[in-house]
Structure 1
Amino acid sequence: ILSFNLMFCFEKSLVTSPSVVSTTLPIRLSGLLVSFSRFKNMPAILLIKALGLLKDSEIASLIGNISEDILITNFYEYAGIKSSEEALLKIGELMNLEGTKKEILDRVKVRIDSALLAHLGTKPEARKEKAIMICKLIRHFLTCKLYGIETDKDHYANKRVRLSGDLLADLFRVNLTIFVRDLQHSYQKTVRRKKIYSIKSLVKSTLFSHRIETAFATGNWIGQRTGVTQNMDKTNRLAMLSQLQRIVSLLPSKQENFMARTLHPTYYGRFCPIETPEGTSIGLRKNLAMLAKVSTEPKLDDKQVISILEEIGLKRK
């Protein structure tokens, strides 16, 4: 998501947490920075060098022919860094990490591998690909800043509809994590007392089931969401279909959010332009069109996609 002063990049990370991890590229007087996980406001050029792209000429060619003073300043400031290890130690110094040289290197590497652009991979082999991706993000960001091409946040190409399966997966994952943590805590207590019980006696399976059942009964979901589950409105068939087709925005209804509430051209054929409640939820609660379908993640073979692109005229380098 591009804006004049900030870029957001969201990716799903199943390694560090079940939630969505965000990578942001804010621009400050000190230069172009990158923030992710607990690492805040790291110089972008320093991070790129830590990921394995060490030549300034190579980084500049990936970013493109954009003469921005802040970018030139960043290049000049970290021109003396000639190895990835040196860049990683500098990041550890900026983040106030303590320990031996090896410990600092290991902690920075683990955090970068697991939390930075985790959808590209969580192994050391993916670092160079992450560096190239950050260069591309910087290019798009600076193009937006120079030419004013912002991302239309209300365009439905930039939105995702979370279906019941996604919500259930989040609920199960969080409660399973709590269940495993409780089991681990109970086991450690028995070990400290030098008493070994069977795993069956330590497992509190009823608590896991109770949390799931409570969420279904009350509609209170993880992430402080309410009203996720509701009683079916069976006044008539149209009322039932209307409830089944309902889409609720995550934006708070107490805030204005004028652009999010107004009709967008991408609604055509996807959402009913008329049906929305009056009051504070107007425009934030929508209904799918009667013939609309929500596509789930397709499982396409990469070779199949490449062959289709070549058929329509795309050429390999």
Structure 2
Amino acid sequence: MKDLDMYIPTYDDVIAAHDRIRPYIHRTPVLTSSYLDDLIGAQLFFKCENFQKAGAFKVRGASNAVFGLSDAEAAKGVCTHSSGNHALSLSYAAGRRGIPCHVVMPRTAPDAKKAAVRGYGGIITECEPSTTSREEVFAQVQARTGGDFVHPYNDPRVVAGQGTCSREFMEQTDGLDMMVAPIGGGGMISGTCLTLSHIAPEVQIIASEPEQADDAYRSFKAGHIIADDAPVTIADGLKVPLKDLTWHFVSNHVTDIFTASEQEIIAAMKLTWERMKIVMEPSCAVPLATIIKNREFFKGKRVGVIITGGNVDLDKLPWI
């Protein structure tokens, strides 16, 4: 097995990942909205990973990691820490392989995501809502279980798996000028960078982030990683900081990072529910929020937008 701490995945890894995970994922649809096109003055194409298995794109990377393990490695199961979507995606993949999955989740994670993790057979240990607490509690869980650590994003197997999303996206559209996706830890953006730099290097890659958790934006402007420990934002999937592997892709391939306020994120989420009739979670509304906010930048362009997930706590909708 490759040394995961030193290995930067290649596009060959994306192709291998796609072949490996194909039986366990959906090829999600690409939708359009004439209303949103008119609003922005651009052609928008939405890759709907909210329709993905386990309700989020993260099942791609999780499945690649789980089904890439040897039988001996898989025997002890897998473990991770996650605010939600990676936890439930890894639980889904582990369940399909018939191995245990231990996950550390913040006690403040949405109840809907905790229920989904348990529904897929994942075993939850709760921690405080900070990166420090998450990593400390996880170290204890991994020491106790001996499971293979599948990091939510700073793992070449995960990045290669996430790269399959933009590979499908480019096959489903007749060329794009830009690709926009949320950024937290940077797994999806890194996979997007990995794929597009090989098959469509002319496509500009734009990352979107909450103003109240804008460490990636500040890192990008400063030229080095700046990590916040416990930012507060409605976009719960985007609270984690960049790591070395994802920073490699962000610093080398991302064109720019735009931010949106909490109010702008909620408005974009509600607008998509109303106009496209699809359910997305707050983290996934950040790209549209930044596109609306910076519409002159996108005007006249063909813009791909990755809707990363739809695991919403329906009892706590932000506009109620």
Same fold (TM over 0.5): no
TM-score (norm 1): 0.24
- With a CA cutoff of 8 Å and minimum separation of 6, indicate the structure with the bigger relative contact order: 2
TM-score (norm 2): 0.24
Question: Greater strand share, 1 or 2?
Answer: 2
Q: Which has the larger radius of gyration?
A: 1
